[in-house]
Structure 1
């Protein structure tokens, strides 16, 4: 009788080697440069840009340009949760604003009490784990916990007294309020937009079934379920009839997924593409006929559930094993990266901490490697752009214009390619740093060095702790590596 083979440390080490080899494969670097199709981004980008502009103008007019950057980070909360229905967005976005304010105050306290850089690295690494834990458990999507840590790290370098702590926290809170207001404004004119985008995504996934295989079926069902949830949570008397039309489209999509034949899918694909295009438009006079069929899937949601229904589920996910492991990885990687950067005498070792943390925000190992490559490329090119801007020695108001443009462009491209977005994010981050103090081109070079340390440490930690079920990367690695590495990858796939 055959018994399952037990996994040894040697097997695990070989598997980790195969995983690390993927980060050097041509396929990983090609994937990192691919441009993806994205949902509507212009309106979101403009809103984030407007929120940032208001925050920076306020800082300048009030005579506190040195903390305007914290207000801008608070306003950046408007970039989170772009696909949430507005009732739930109102609650979750308020939580993001509170988080940015709290982490800014926390970092400022670390700086004000005069802690050594080693203690700052330790405490901010723990804070990185906490932010990852909370945002992941409560499904706060968007720029991610790295924004909170960036705010904390910046505040730690800024604050020297209790007055500085109050000033930085007040700026972050003010910016968060601005971000919340700007993000919620579309609820007055286009309350149906999140539901329309959710249905458009569902229709797109159904139309692509033939090219996606069994994984496409799973994705399509998930998108249909998510669209029904968004419609229910975003219920508004002004979009009630439109909601029934959207549900009718989801009924047709669901029938195609569950029982439709190849011919049925071929017949409906053109309709799905047409409806998808209509749904992605901002206007309300869309060309979607009413359906005479009964609408399935509509459900009543209490007012409390619309705003706070996610909270209980989030509390339950706080103890989820996968999330807890992710928290441990973030803390360890952040601590190692910051410690190595400090030991090497880098001027801003906390940037290495952020680099490691941002890398580990990937959904799986393949995504982690992709984000690491994209962040490294983006930071290098962004540093070059920042050097050009720093050499120009712009004053406060020209810098405001540059930062707003960089932030807006970032939001327009971030869902298409993270490497391209990182170019503008890096330049913007350095410009924000320069608002309160004069910085030179050498800071940009330091940013690249810190990022390199962070992403390398992040990838290594991810490979050492890779989950046995996460082997999607090994297929292409096996085809590209030399024979000895192919044997390692093949054996790693066979093990476990």
Structure 2
């Protein structure tokens, strides 16, 4: 289709198009996330201690309330510990507040239909707030599962404070469990983020040179290069580097020791960023890829931070002020946004910082939820879909309408295609999970201690498999959820299994239908905004490049230097700012394009304009990275 130029901010003309919904990729297994064991073990410990305590007291009927707090241990494992401490408390408070609303409604409202509406509204709030804060996995799912279940638990008003106290106490214990690794590996999260950036940079270098790692980890030559693969690797590297910078920005550097530890990681991250500059690296691209991969392995192993070679294209101490390293894409979002890295030791002038004036906290979240936000149609989808799913479940005589509400809420993703995939995955996983639960019934009926052991095993299995594919994780999540129901009150197995299967089908079908009917036309509008921001960032960066040499990351003056050195330092900070803002805009545009491409019914996307903007943006970004590497190379 021929692209028609248009003024910025105006709608792109074109016919409405329909996207086919994928099937094969929906059930395909992926590689597990590298740190899956961290939330898995944290959740198992956070659940085990309260569960065993309640078992000893003979009060397993209270396990829902302690589980509400314990499940908070699944969050914030990608954040540095200072930011994780703040984030987890917000998650715990959000969980307790949601539980309080649910239990209060359960104690005062007798109509199941009204409770479905209230549970659906809470689910919609969970979805838009978690998306706006960029809290990360498991997102709104755990909050909605606990709260929706609590809406239908028999409750008296006088019992609510004590039950909330149990949830808060379990949440405090979960906080301690998640913070405990800081005693052993205080730099763990930021080391992993830097390692990911190095691995992405190594992948970019291998893709661009036609080299690929073999089974031993060594590189081998391959014929030709795939332009699409190179572009994808470049986008992945830019995203990984931006995420790593944001992680380092959250690391406090208030003492010389902490500043020195962070500076070591910044040197390695800056060298990973040099892969975006298309410069001639010492030893060639293949040697640099091997070097980056080796550094990444050392970072992950816990050994001392490798000493990155300055001659690889970076100065000894990267300098300047890094602003908006990932526009509208902060790691940790609202809950971790106040930059701990702003508190720098006086002796650490070379550490990079986010630019002052960038909105964070509540202001940033409100900006993402302002009128016209693409998150609002998704919230409407969740509210309408959950209400209709719950009411349909009641109409067919199911005694647990909250299962349909949770199923509907769980399938809503960033676009229709992803929601379709999640609906298929949820249905398949729940069916297989019910088969597994039925097979284990003889073992489950041997006693409550066995039920606790199985629930913990299912929790571990869910975290181990859910990152490979959601349907595989749901095979473990389903029996774990049924066991949680069994702790509170015993129901006939046949009724429990039949109700869960009906609710799964109803929730997935009704939820998906609402997803298709409630279209998100604003997803394409987000592309227009992203293109405008990228054009502004690219123009500013081009002006810096056209101004000629004189900026560089190694030109930071010390005390007593001349005004000329101060001017060079200002130019270096401006170049750093421009580079990071441009990289962030490129990441944002790619995300917006992928989200909009998954909407099945909308106007045609400006694909040619997106491709040209990305090509030009990456070309300018490469020029900035090369410019900032010149002083070190000259040294």
Does residue 270 in structure 1 map to residue 287 in structure 2?
A: no
Once the two structures are superposed, residues 273-325 of structure 1 have per-residue CA deviations (whole angstroms, 9 ceiling, x without a partner) of: 222222223x2435555657323267699996429954432233232611222
* Structure 1 position 437, deviation (Å): 1.1
* Structure 1 position 118, deviation (Å): 0.7
Quick check: 2:48–2:456 contact (8 Å CA) kept in 1?
yes
Does residue 296 in structure 1 map to residue 318 in structure 2?
A: yes
- Residues 269/149 of structure 1: CA separation in 2 closer, same or farther (3 Å cut): same
| Aligned counterpart in structure 2 of residue 306 of structure 1, from 340, 343, 357 | 340
* Structure 1 position 232, deviation (Å): 2.5
Does residue 380 in structure 1 map to residue 431 in structure 2?
A: yes
Residue aligning to 2:384: 332
Kindly name which structure, 1 or 2, has the bigger radius of gyration based on alpha carbons: 2
Task: State the SS of the aligned residue for 1:347.
Answer: coil
The 1-side partners of 2:48 and 2:15 are apart by 54
Does residue 245 in structure 1 map to residue 264 in structure 2?
A: yes
Quick check: 1:232–1:298 contact (8 Å CA) kept in 2?
no
Does residue 452 in structure 1 map to residue 505 in structure 2?
A: yes
The 2-side partners of 1:129 and 1:311 are apart by 18
The 1-side partners of 2:605 and 2:337 are apart by 51
The 1-side partners of 2:50 and 2:276 are apart by 46
The 1-side partners of 2:232 and 2:516 are apart by 24
The 2-side partners of 1:247 and 1:473 are apart by 31
Once the two structures are superposed, residues 422-458 of structure 1 have per-residue CA deviations (whole angstroms, 9 ceiling, x without a partner) of: 1111111111111111133221232222122222233
- Residues 75/99 of structure 1: CA separation in 2 closer, same or farther (3 Å cut): same
| Aligned counterpart in structure 2 of residue 143 of structure 1, from 132, 138, 142 | 138
Does residue 201 in structure 1 map to residue 196 in structure 2?
A: yes
The 2-side partners of 1:186 and 1:434 are apart by 33
Quick check: 2:374–2:520 contact (8 Å CA) kept in 1?
no
Residue aligning to 2:577: none
Which segment is superposed worse, 442-451 or 304-313?
304-313
Residue aligning to 2:474: 422
Quick check: 2:386–2:507 contact (8 Å CA) kept in 1?
yes
Normalising to structure 2: TM-score of the pair?
0.67
| Aligned counterpart in structure 2 of residue 221 of structure 1, from 234, 238, 252 | 238
- Residues 494/103 of structure 1: CA separation in 2 closer, same or farther (3 Å cut): closer
Residue aligning to 2:44: 49
The 2-side partners of 1:386 and 1:333 are apart by 28
The 2-side partners of 1:461 and 1:272 are apart by 47
| Aligned counterpart in structure 2 of residue 188 of structure 1, from 171, 183, 189 | 183
Residue aligning to 1:91: 86
Does residue 118 in structure 1 map to residue 169 in structure 2?
A: no
Computed over aligned residues only, the root mean square deviation of the Cα atoms, in angstroms, reads 3.5
Which segment is superposed worse, 89-98 or 264-273?
264-273
* Structure 1 position 349, deviation (Å): 1.6
* Structure 1 position 63, deviation (Å): 3.7
* Structure 1 position 389, deviation (Å): 3.0
* Structure 1 position 201, deviation (Å): 1.8
Residue aligning to 1:280: 300
Quick check: 2:337–2:361 contact (8 Å CA) kept in 1?
no
Residue aligning to 2:129: 134
Once the two structures are superposed, residues 130-170 of structure 1 have per-residue CA deviations (whole angstroms, 9 ceiling, x without a partner) of: 11122222222222222222222222222331233234322
Residue aligning to 1:481: none
The 2-side partners of 1:326 and 1:428 are apart by 28
Quick check: 1:339–1:349 contact (8 Å CA) kept in 2?
yes
Once the two structures are superposed, residues 65-118 of structure 1 have per-residue CA deviations (whole angstroms, 9 ceiling, x without a partner) of: 111132123111010122112122111111111121122222222221242111
Task: State the SS of the aligned residue for 1:208.
Answer: helix
Structure 2 residue ranges without an equivalent (≥5):
208-225, 324-335, 342-358, 525-591, 608-635
Quick check: 2:399–2:499 contact (8 Å CA) kept in 1?
yes
The 2-side partners of 1:303 and 1:453 are apart by 39
Residue aligning to 1:233: 250
The 2-side partners of 1:38 and 1:457 are apart by 31
Structure 1 residue ranges without an equivalent (≥5):
478-488
The 1-side partners of 2:242 and 2:319 are apart by 9
Quick check: 1:114–1:160 contact (8 Å CA) kept in 2?
no
Task: State the SS of the aligned residue for 2:164.
Answer: helix
Task: State the SS of the aligned residue for 2:252.
Answer: coil
Which segment is superposed worse, 303-312 or 211-220?
303-312
Residue aligning to 1:462: 515
- Residues 437/300 of structure 1: CA separation in 2 closer, same or farther (3 Å cut): same
The 1-side partners of 2:126 and 2:379 are apart by 9
The 2-side partners of 1:297 and 1:60 are apart by 56
* Structure 1 position 368, deviation (Å): 2.1
Residue aligning to 2:165: 170
The number of residue pairs the alignment matches comes to 472
* Structure 1 position 416, deviation (Å): 2.4
Residue aligning to 1:352: 404
| Greater RCO, 1 or 2 (C-alpha within 8 Å, sep 6+) | 1
